[in-house]
Structure 1
Amino acid sequence: MKITSLILVFVSSFLLAQKPEEELIKSTINQLFNGMKTSDSVLIKKSFSKNAVLQTITKTGEVKNENINDFAVSISNAEKQSLDERITFSNILIDGNLASAWTSYEFYYKGQFSHCGVNSFQLVKSNNEWKIQYIIDTRRKDNCKK
């Protein structure tokens, strides 16, 4: 009976410890999309690590790279509230200072549906902060839940 109780306590504490980390990871990712929605380049850049990578996969399977600073500047030039990427967290995996998050999304421009896809994030924890190290996404107009 005591061994079973100890195992339950250990497993419960491990799961509870993971939960706050998941929330911090979600917060970092949500910060990026809040920065996009408010056209705030500072908030966008704050979400990324120094040497982060941003990529997208085209319909033909080509992988395109995008510079983080250029991305932040282009978003900051958009009309506030015109860019709205609505994400749903599917899975977050954590091992020490490395995390992976998978989110499906629907993207709206000025309130009109534009496209959907999936984001795959790799995050690193440095100085007790989660930062996005890598994003790759898909983009499509079909098979979207609207």
Structure 2
Amino acid sequence: MKKLLMVAVFLTNLAVFSQTDKDEATPKKLVQDFFEAFHDQDTVKLKSFAVDSMQLQSISKDAEGNTQVSTTEYSKFLKNIASIPAETNFEEKLHEFRIEENGLLATVTTPYSFYFNGNFSHCGVNSFQLVNFSGEWKIVYLVDTRTKEDCY
């Protein structure tokens, strides 16, 4: 009876550990980890979260109110993050996560407010497109909006 009880306890623990690993490999967790690395200026981790061909775009309005789309290579984004002086303080506060997952594809949308050296800079929405490669989510596309109006 003791052996049977020990086997049951072992199998229960094994099931709990396997669920923990699966729970961590979610689109939401990837985006949370992305922003943690972003705030830490950890470009090695940031690079690991995306495919090499990742596209990064921002949508904003110019002084005349015309919609502008700017595109940045992910490698340039990483260089920009690495070049931020250590004494500079920046924070992107995420207000919520909207997640739609469908097999190999997921979309994570995160409204945000951005602060630079403690001062409000802008707000908007991030939209991450993720693809699941053999159980590992990777960012393939990131587009965000930037405005100073209608913020949270």
Q: TM bucket by the smaller chain?
A: 0.7 to 0.9
TM-score by length of 2: 0.76
CA drift at 1:134: 0.7
TM-score by length of 1: 0.78
**Residue aligning to 1:67:** 73
**Residue aligning to 2:113:** 106
Task: Pick closer, same or farther for the CA change 1:39–1:22 going to 2, 3 Å.
Answer: closer
Given residue 90 of structure 2, which amino acid in structure 1 is its aligned partner?
A: L
Runs of 4+ aligned residues of structure 1 deviating over 2 Å after TM superposition are 20-23
Task: Pick closer, same or farther for the CA change 1:51–1:41 going to 2, 3 Å.
Answer: same
- Verify: 1:140 aligned to 2:147, yes or no: yes
Compare 43-52 and 76-85 and name the one that shifted more. Answer: 76-85
Q: Which has the larger radius of gyration?
A: 2
CA drift at 1:48: 0.9
Q: Distance in 2 between matches of 1:82 and 1:132?
A: 25
Task: Pick closer, same or farther for the CA change 1:31–1:79 going to 2, 3 Å.
Answer: farther
How much is the aligned-residue C-alpha RMSD, in angstroms?
2.0
What aligned pairs does 1:22-61 form with structure 2 within 5 A after superposition? 24-59=26-61, 60-61=66-67
**Residue aligning to 2:13:** none
CA drift at 1:35: 1.7
Q: Distance in 2 between matches of 1:123 and 1:131?
A: 5
**Residue aligning to 2:83:** 77
Q: Which runs of 5+ in 1 are unaligned?
A: 1-16
Q: Distance in 2 between matches of 1:55 and 1:79?
A: 24
Deviations along 1:16-70, one digit per CA (max 9) or x if unpaired, are: x9xx669721111122211221111112111211211100112122211111011
Deviations along 1:78-120, one digit per CA (max 9) or x if unpaired, are: 1347221111334211111100111100001122111100011
Given residue 62 of structure 1, which amino acid in structure 2 is its aligned partner?
A: Q
Q: Distance in 2 between matches of 1:66 and 1:21?
A: 32
- Equivalent residue pairs, number: 127
